[in-house]
Amino acid sequence: MAIDRRNFIKASATAIAASAVSGKLPAMTMMSRSKKMKLSYSIYDISMVHTFNISGFSRDVAQSILVEISYDGQVGYGEAGLPPYMIGQNAQTAADFIKKVNLEQFSNPFILEDILNYVDSLEEGMSCPKAAIDIALHDLIGKLLDKPVYELWGYNKVTTPLSSFTIGFDSEDMVRTKIEEASRFKLLKLKLGKDEATDKMMVRVAREITDKMIYVDANQGWKDKYYALDMIGWLTDYDITFVEQPMPKNMCDDMAWLTSKSPLPTMADEACQRLCDIRNLYQQYSGIVVKTLKSTGLREGKKMIETAKALGMKTMIGCSTETSCAISGAAQLSVMTDYADTDGNLLISNDCFSGMKIVDGKVTLNNKPGIGVVKL
């Protein structure tokens, strides 16, 4: 059953109150000294268009944490999904974490390295609320400088890649329906890893219908390296671009063997959490998938992508089931990745932001400052 209730604290009201408390002075009288960052949050119940099936679980509702940070008359928005695979991170623990964060001790939002190191140090894990804060700070900085985040990073928005649309495993008829619904996408992601018959049916049906670029995500579903190599061999006949997380993330030696033999590139998703993982993934996978809710946000996500690129690895920016807020944050990173899988906002029926769009299958950023979102 989909939850449609909109459990949303009006943080803009909080921001106005905060601004009153901070006691704005006229511009000439050292106004900057009275500036304080004010943080507020809410838990958002997301309704999904289709029940979502991947190797391991299925669901038709989701939650995310929304964050607002106000400073100097601007409000930055951030978000991170709270999917069940982020063990220990849920509405309660994420909220508890946010309550520990005191941004008022920092003189300004620009010193991201200091602020985010502090936030990171408050508690191990908790990458989701950390990411929501990071994205809100980037949005805020962009608004303060009146520049989109991608431009502050030195990138041109025309360099965004195609975004994939995800097809969860389902009956043959439903797979056909979903692929037809995805007509405006030029890159499809098929969720495999259930069983051999379903996996092969998914790929065969998809290739019967379309000659679009397709990649597959086994979500750790193949437990044996020889089986995985056989499956990848079979996939090469179907013009598959790459294979995401073929084997369990902890099977490092088997995975390095598989990548060295594989005719298709392999991409680390579950195995790729934070920056410190990259050196271990090098020569174990052909590339990495970065998700902001795992990387603790845009700043560390950007470092991960740049490090992987420097090592000659492929890069993809992914997402979870999130509104256009988190997705527009992630989409800022897409200017520097080979691929994007930023369709999470399209799988939900109650988006509360508008921002990045998929136009002709391509991630399309706007010229608005920050992460380029408008609250609906």
Rule CB under 8 A: say whether 95 interacts with its own copies. Answer: no
Exactly one of 187, 278, 325, 340 binds its own copies (CB under 8 A); that residue is 278
Closest CB to its own copies among 45 and 306?
306
Distance between the two ends of the chain, CA-based, in angstroms? 24
Between CA 79 and CA 81, with CA 80 as vertex, the angle to 5 degrees is: 130
Q: Does 368 bind its own copies (CB under 8 A)?
A: no
Q: Which of 2, 366, 324, 345 is nearest to 149 (CA)?
A: 366
Residue of the chain from 1, 253, 276, 360 that contacts its own copies (CB under 8 A)? 276
Interface with its own copies, residue 27, by CB under 8 A:
no
In 3D, which of 161, 144, 147, 93 has the Cα closest to residue 123? 93
Q: If binding is defined by CB under 8 A, does position 31 make contact with its own copies?
A: no
Min dist. Cβ of residue 117 to its own copies (A): 10
What's the number of CA atoms in the CB half-sphere (13 Å) around residue 324? 20
230 near its own copies (CB under 8 A): no
Rank residues 186 and 303 by Cβ distance to its own copies and give the closer one: 303
| Interface with its own copies, residue 20, by CB under 8 A | no
Question: 267 or 335, CB closer to its own copies?
Answer: 335
> 330-359 mask for its own copies (x: CB under 8 A)?
-----xx-----------------------
Q: Phi, psi at residue 95, to the nearest 5°?
A: -65, -45
Stretch that binds its own copies, among 41-49, 124-132, 298-306, 350-358 (CB under 8 A): 298-306
Q: Which of 167, 165, 190, 203 is nearest to 362 (CA)?
A: 165
Q: Output the smallest distance, CB 298 to its own copies, in A.
A: 10
Find the shortest distance in angstroms from Cβ 311 to its own copies: 5
Tell which one of 156, 236, 250, 349 touches its own copies (CB under 8 A).
156
- Binding-site ranges for its own copies (CB under 8 A): 110-114, 145, 147, 151-152, 154-156, 159, 275-276, 278-279, 282, 299, 303-304, 306-307, 310-312, 335-336
